[in-house]
Amino acid sequence: MKIPISHKATRRNQRWFFAVMIVLFVPCAFYLKLSYSQFADGIGRIPDIVKQFLQISPDDLPILLRELLTSLIIAFLSVVISVFLSLLLSFLIADTTAPSRWIAKGLRLVVVIVRTIPTTIWVLLAVASMGFGSMAGVLGLLFPTTSFLIKSFTAQIDEAGKEPVEAIRALGGTWWHVVFNGAIPTLYTTFLALIAFNFEITVAETVILGMVGAGGIGVLLQEYISYYEFAPLLMGILVVFLTLFVLELMTNQIRKRLARSAR
């Protein structure tokens, strides 16, 4: 006897979902003018490209490490500034701690608008106003990073519940007492885990956005790609990969230790 793992409505929705995907696939492929011959030619060139990538040169390693440090500093400054802004604004937006419902709605709308604009657009606007370089990178990353942290912090504040907030208010505490004596001590470890996770993401974004003028190692990678310099390009890719790999290990350890300390 077979036991069904889902009821009829769920199976029907699943079939509709996959059917719609299959039906939309063909017109989408035609709209983008995807060509099988172009795909086959590209597959045929892969061995030659792989051979060129296997040429690695350590000559540019010092400048790659210097620019990598620039990318890390850009990400660090963006996250630090965003943390201070987010901590203040998230408590003004969260339902449990907002001093004014109308101010919270207005700020929430601003955050939604900021989040709908891609990070690349923010960096391009910063580059257009300040020119190429690290300053444009910090400013361009500031808006999306702050909006991400505000959304994350606000969700955690609301999930923590109203009990600590109501207890402090019942004792005559002000809004500042609610924030610094009630909410932050309760959510301290959660906030740190979110900040560590966001720093890892921001470093990866800094590398990519450097290719559009935000400074750092992305500028070098873009130059190597433009001039087909595969040997230093592979070295740069390895440097970025190892850095992001180590950062992920570090942030995972930080989150695990914070989770154990919160128990």
pLDDT tens figures, 65-105: 999 999 999 999 999 999 999 988 998 898 888 888 898 89
The mean per-residue pLDDT over the stretch 149-174 comes to 79
**Is it the case that residue 2 has pLDDT exceeding 60?**
no
Among 30-34, 126-130, 216-220, name the one with the lowest average pLDDT: 30-34
Per-residue pLDDT at 199: 92
- Specify the higher pLDDT residue, 178 or 122: 122
Q: Nearest to residue 72, comparing CAs of 247, 189, 221, 226?
A: 247
- Specify the higher pLDDT residue, 58 or 74: 74
CA 122 – CA 141 distance, rounded (Å): 7
Q: Tell me the Cα Rg of the chain.
A: 24
CA 87 – CA 94 distance, rounded (Å): 11
The mean predicted confidence, pLDDT, of the chain is: 84
Q: What is the pTM assigned to this prediction? A: 0.80
Please name the residue that has the structure tokens 């490209």.
Answer: 49
Q: Which two tokens stand for residue 87?
A: 């901590």
Crossing angle for the helix pair 61-93 and 230-262, to the nearest 10 degrees: 40
Per-residue pLDDT at 59: 87
Q: Are 149 and 83 in contact (CB under 8 A)?
A: yes
